[in-house]
Amino acid sequence: MIKVLFVCLGNICRSPMAEYIFKDMVKKQGLEGKFYIDSAATSTEEIGNPVHYGTRNKLEQMNIECGNHTARRITKQDYEIFDYIIAMEEQNMVNIKRIVGDDKEQKIYKLLDFSDNPRDIADPWYTGNFDKTYEDIKEGLEGFMEYLKKKDPILRRD
């Protein structure tokens, strides 16, 4: 089982969008049993709050199932549980390390580092542009899946 945790600042816009798009990709590729996928925040700002309507609307528009995730903060224990901790932007990486400590096992990545054009994913909480967020996240997730398939034998079809 590959355990993936997506992380952003509030855990209501970008990281739940990544969680649900990735769950959808995994399901469509028949890989559901091989993954455990969740998302979390670095801040305490939105703890307990549901997925932002901008993310919910975009997922609905793309026919992607949006579950009932409520925002939670990443913990030190998450670092032990998850194999991949995937941040949306550079500042998330800094904040994650403040909470979990040094990335001794090199589990912390930035989503768009898996794309051909590494960059941050802008926060739609500020930009209001959930279409751009969706495109950026999709690009990163496709690169991530490709990376996993090359690396992890449990994802190969024989």
Query: What residue ranges bind ligand 4NP (CB under 6 A)?
Result: 8-14, 45-46, 123, 125
Q: Is 98 a catalytic residue?
A: no
Whichever of 123 and 136 has its CB closer to ligand 4NP, that residue is: 123
Alpha-carbon span 143 to 149, nearest angstrom: 10
Contact 12, 50 (CB under 8 A): yes
Nearest Cα neighbor of 20 from 149, 134, 136, 122 is 134
Contact 140, 111 (CB under 8 A): yes
Q: Is 116 a catalytic residue?
A: no
Annotated catalytic residue, options 14, 38, 66, 78:
14
In the bound complex, which residue of the shown chain has the CB atom lying closest to ligand 4NP? 10
Whichever of 66 and 148 has its CB closer to ligand 4NP, that residue is: 66
Tell me the residue type at 7. Answer: V
Q: Is 123 a catalytic residue?
A: yes
Annotated catalytic residue, options 13, 38, 66, 123:
123
Catalytic residues: 8, 14, 123
